[in-house]
Structure 1
Amino acid sequence: MNDSPERGGVGPVPPTSTSVARYAGVSRATVSYVLNGLAAGRVSAATQEKVRVAAEELGYVPHAAARSLRSGSSGLVLIAVPADTVPAYGSLFTGFVAAFQTELQAYGHTGVLHGARTGGAPQAAARAWAELRPAAVIATIGAPLDEASVETLKRSGTSAVVSYGLPPAPGAHGIAMDQEEVGAVAGAHLLAGGRRRIGVVVPLEHGLGMFSTPRLEGVRAAAAACPGARVEPVELAYTEESAAELAARWRDLDLDAVFAYNDEYAMLLMRALQDAGIDVPGEVAVVGADDLLLGRLLRPRLTSVRIELPPPAEVAALVDRLIREPETPPAVHRRSTAHIEARESSSRAE
């Protein structure tokens, strides 16, 4: 039976809860109880099954917007990931987001990625997010968020606002990562290997300064304890052309090591250095960050700072708890730790 007649030139009319009720021979209230998980003690098992079969046969899907109007929340967890810099964040972060979305499903939440330009107005971003009536917003690295935008989201019915990656805005929870520690670990390793003239890659991609600046400061802090050490920022775009240009003038920079921001930039630059006839690690030691598998497949194998992020399952559990307990006082819940994975690309200087 087809309970969804077509409209002239427009396409089929989506089935409604009324269609399901008529098809199953029950009331709309019964359909609502069953499809919203409220049937226990109210609707018999046989009737529940009848409603589910009717909904499936008609192709009925609950309307998220209507559900939002009734409950004040869509059940969505909005993951704000700036669209203009996603490729530069690295596989470690994108892998975390994918796993986090999977873990959310166990709690009945749906994780949805939402692009937002880095450097945009926080209030404009918050209003765009609030239109979807999310149960929670996870503002990741580069997504705009301040005290007023947090308040806008809460007034619209968002139960939990969480900053991921940096110290949170006032009123938001935070999962902060110590980026300076990443640089300090890389710098200490290079210095221990006898390197004294260290370049630190500063990506030209928009929005990454919140990572690269504290990582540069971490290397500088490590070098401050080593007399005669020099730290030099070097700009690099995530392109082969930019890497080749930097490699062509590398010897003029008089640097014997580089902490290349992360593994992707490190692999890009190391290939360019080798193409320019510069020996790695003989002339230049190279260190990345994130400890990606691909870096271990290169020759020489890439030394990397391994960053222990909060497990996606723990973050999902935290978000679920904050949704259920929206009055929980804002706090920073966890920080990352970093350690070196030493390989051939940073062998000790002679």
Structure 2
Amino acid sequence: MPDEAPTITRRKEFITISDELRTYLRHYGRLAALPALYRDLQSFMSAYPLMDKEGRSTLWDTVVYERSQLKDLWPRLTSIYSLLKTGDLKAVPHLYVERVDFCGFGNSKPFRIRVVNEYNDNYDHFYIKVADASRVYGLELEHLLSPNRINYLVHEDTLIEEHIAGVPGDVFIGEYFERSDVNRVRIAKEFVKFSERCFIRLLGDMRSYNYVVDMTPDFEETQYRVRAIDFDQQSYEGAKSVYLPQFYKENLPVVKLCTKYLNYATMQQYQQEERSLIARRYLSEKSRLRSLFRAMKHYPAEPPAKVVQLKKELGEYHGTGVFDDCMSMGDIVERHIEFMLGKQLGEKTSAHPH
């Protein structure tokens, strides 16, 4: 395990969504007039801890509203769910809000809405958060460069996100690693590829509770995919180690698993495979990515000292001066992606294996 531990700003400042970023979001169908905003959910009158099936705290609280509020608020929330899922803003009669949970633990202080279909009791969730430019950049980069598609909407200072299904990383590490029916080699492979995706696009704070493991039964064995679920720390911190998931103590069992089942040559092979896939996505979405990077660079709001630190540490890590003239995190992210994918993009420069 590397001896350099990442440091995370405890409460990251929210970065306002600029007019240029809103124009980008409107162009790509991410803006929508919503019937309820984040502030509408803040007026709950009480809350009580939400426990899991084992009676342990989930760090979420179920909130309670006055009865007079519910008649007005619940149809607006089911309308948002309908818009998120079907593109049609209307209250669906057979959907109802069973519960609203609030988490004051994370940076985004999200509300989680549980929607139930009264015909079959099937349920789903979505999230209402304060709109933050860092998170939006993270969601967009995930949508464009990862194998996953992300569904979200923005209106004024409110961000709506769909639920990303999977076993929470900390639960997966604690309960699945030792099971006889799991393929540890496949799990190790997917964690290597996940780490590579995070580092290339500089998504930080991938501790075990900030990602999930999606398991899909195949005709012979189960397939695994590790998916980020928290995008607050998209290119915000200055320490390079923040963007390397293997540096977090919460992921130490993952590091040990990879070390046990994969040799260095195999890990390099998986890293190269992932770079090739990201490069294909990059080339197919190059125009959209250029627009996104412009918005990131034209309205930098991250602390300048963090920009200076990150470009210095990345330059030292890769043994290059290509980051020296970067003036914002947007500059660094664009340059880092192109540098890491240099060979796959047909460029002359490429990163050293890590």
Q: What range describes the TM-score normalised by the shorter chain of this pair?
A: under 0.3
TM-score, reference length from structure 2: 0.26
Rg comparison, structure with higher value: 1
TM-score (norm 1): 0.27
